[in-house]
Structure 1
């Protein structure tokens, strides 16, 4: 895609427009959005690789508007690099990041319980930092050797000429969104009549789980009122619906219940040709969506019919609630920390 840097009207010397300030505001808006997403989704720093990637993207987002500001203040004559040079190289770097990030993130979660990842917290942070830095370095080498940084003259509209430069889009994110959306639609069609019931039941399980956690908080009360608590649990759970969704579909439902608005907004932008360069589409919304997808895959493959996998960092998707939705009330007596995180860490199942 072409980023318009300057434009002017043919025959009118006073109708020259420089878009540098617009790119500055655009990158600042993206930085603000990523910081807000990081605050909402990553309140507690974890030792996962994708969490370190999130921090690195915020730092890169802060460096980009700073560079554009320097070019703007220095001017074309005094600036050592042009705005086209910055946008072309940065977009190519961002476009090269998603695939290695997804591969390394999946390996990080799968190897979490192995000897290779049995390290101290400091070592894990250092390892993730080195891998992230290596990824950015390789992306930079790829960008500097493959991009075109020369301005192109083109007729933008009738009687309007423009100077633009070629910036890269992220094909990986494009296929990531369309492939996942297609898979979700195709797999959900056979279950459409039951999906509203299952979503309602998942919300009910989340509420009941919070009530049971409050009952189980005081162990002396439990020992004195064991029979009463048990009957209460059975009463709360007897409304579980039949048939229950299979585990793989339940995990998919947990993922789509939170991230479907993101997919819908991305698809709308593509349908109406609202092209976005890679330095905009590779953001923390996509990183957190990818993080949830990889967590869901690991949770599904490592959970059993008797207990859910319990060694993943905190995430916005309610994996354990939907695991209980699939397995039924006979598994409810597992430890409360499996089903219910602390009240301040619990996230709603549905978002609009």
Structure 2
């Protein structure tokens, strides 16, 4: 039988000795921790950002993980019951995350590409759809994505054989590991390293004079104006340096985490690998890439859409000076009074 090279599994050890921790308990604990992390990341994000396809998909991931947690908890409590003519046992605590692992594993690259196109259309203002119409389109697009991937997973004969290989009495939990996640992470980390290698001298120079300021009650990175700054033209290398600093200023620990995973070749089950922090990391990467590719069309006076809940990209485009920020803060304080 042909086995896909990305179909890695995690069988539990069968060596003699003390009995291992119940796999169903492990799966339930991991699902609970992931759901809590997803909700926490959503709770601390900025709420004044424009809706995007990736943002809507993040909401769907939180909802699906919450449903999985509720379902697994229900099965773990009752252990053996029938619902709608289907008998659920402890075995399904492993089976349901396996099915979801296959679904999550196939979604990384499609969501990455669709989100990139969505950001490009929004940033370039190509789309003329109203705010309500755009949100409605995102909602039905995400539903269609989930229907398509679940139909593929449940209808694929090779996946069915892979799921049915496990004996019902073993209660072991082998999980699918997505090769898409590995290559996508390798691609983004590689791009970041290439960009840093290209602009490392500018990054070091700009970082030495970088200041963290408060602008309109928002923490911002203050980039001192270069002597050769042109108020009508954006230098691509200078912009690339600022985008890299802003990105790493928020996601540097996550970048190190991805490098460790790649270097140690850690295999993470797909139902854990697809999470909200990973999706927001992709979101920031795509926004920075679109801003840089579109830099020849941008002007420093152009309003930058707030599409990132964690990174304030607009500070890469506005030519701040200290006097400008101080006057703005004083004006805002007077207006507040």
Instruction: Quickly name the TM-score band, shorter chain normalised.
Output: 0.7 to 0.9
Tell me the CA shift for residue 249 of structure 1. 3.4
User: For 1:19-73, what per-residue CA distance to the aligned partner results, in whole angstroms no more than 9, with x for missing partners?
Assistant: 2111111011001111111112243463211111111111011011122223322
CA distance in 1, matches of 2:224, 2:49: 38
Tell me the CA shift for residue 262 of structure 1. 0.8
Aligned pair count?
298
SS at match of 2:317: helix
Distance change >3 Å, CA 272–CA 31, structure 1 → 2: same
Counterpart of 1:266?
A: 258
Moved more, 94-103 or 164-173: 164-173
Counterpart of 1:275?
A: 267
| Aligned Cα root-mean-square deviation (Å) | 3.7
Matched, 1:187 2:195: yes
Tell me the CA shift for residue 198 of structure 1. 1.1
Distance change >3 Å, CA 18–CA 248, structure 1 → 2: same
Moved more, 93-102 or 117-126: 117-126
Contact kept in structure 1, 2:199 and 2:241, CA below 8 Å: no
Distance change >3 Å, CA 275–CA 76, structure 1 → 2: farther
Tell me the CA shift for residue 77 of structure 1. 7.3
CA distance in 2, matches of 1:318, 1:306: 17
User: For 1:81-137, what per-residue CA distance to the aligned partner results, in whole angstroms no more than 9, with x for missing partners?
Assistant: 623321221001111222222222222222227887333332222111100000011
CA distance in 2, matches of 1:15, 1:238: 62
Of 70, 79, 94, 2:104 maps to: 94
Tell me the CA shift for residue 314 of structure 1. 4.1
Contact kept in structure 1, 2:196 and 2:244, CA below 8 Å: no
Contact kept in structure 1, 2:202 and 2:241, CA below 8 Å: no
Of 167, 175, 179, 2:175 maps to: 167
Contact kept in structure 2, 1:34 and 1:284, CA below 8 Å: yes
CA distance in 2, matches of 1:151, 1:74: 25
Counterpart of 2:312?
A: 318
Q: Which has the higher relative contact order, 1 or 2, with Cα contacts under 8 A spaced 6 or more apart?
A: 2
Matched, 1:18 2:31: no
1:19-34 mapped onto 2 (5 Å cutoff): 19-34=23-38
Matched, 1:137 2:147: yes
CA distance in 2, matches of 1:190, 1:16: 50
Q: TM-score, normalised by structure 2?
A: 0.74
CA distance in 1, matches of 2:189, 2:75: 40
Of 256, 270, 276, 2:248 maps to: 256
Tell me the CA shift for residue 298 of structure 1. 2.2
Contact kept in structure 2, 1:308 and 1:320, CA below 8 Å: no
CA distance in 1, matches of 2:244, 2:184: 15
SS at match of 1:47: coil
Q: TM-score, normalised by structure 1?
A: 0.71
Larger gyration radius, structure 1 or structure 2: 1
CA distance in 2, matches of 1:16, 1:301: 52
SS at match of 1:68: helix
Contact kept in structure 1, 2:247 and 2:285, CA below 8 Å: yes
SS at match of 2:51: coil
Counterpart of 2:4?
A: none
CA distance in 1, matches of 2:280, 2:48: 14
Of 150, 165, 170, 2:164 maps to: 150
Counterpart of 2:121?
A: 111
Counterpart of 2:5?
A: none
Moved more, 305-314 or 239-248: 239-248
Tell me the CA shift for residue 179 of structure 1. 1.7
CA distance in 2, matches of 1:241, 1:199: 17
CA distance in 1, matches of 2:21, 2:315: 54
Counterpart of 1:293?
A: 285
Distance change >3 Å, CA 52–CA 42, structure 1 → 2: farther
Distance change >3 Å, CA 253–CA 151, structure 1 → 2: same
CA distance in 2, matches of 1:169, 1:42: 32
Structure 2 unaligned blocks of 5 or more: 1-7, 230-234
Distance change >3 Å, CA 124–CA 29, structure 1 → 2: same
Tell me the CA shift for residue 9 of structure 1. 6.1
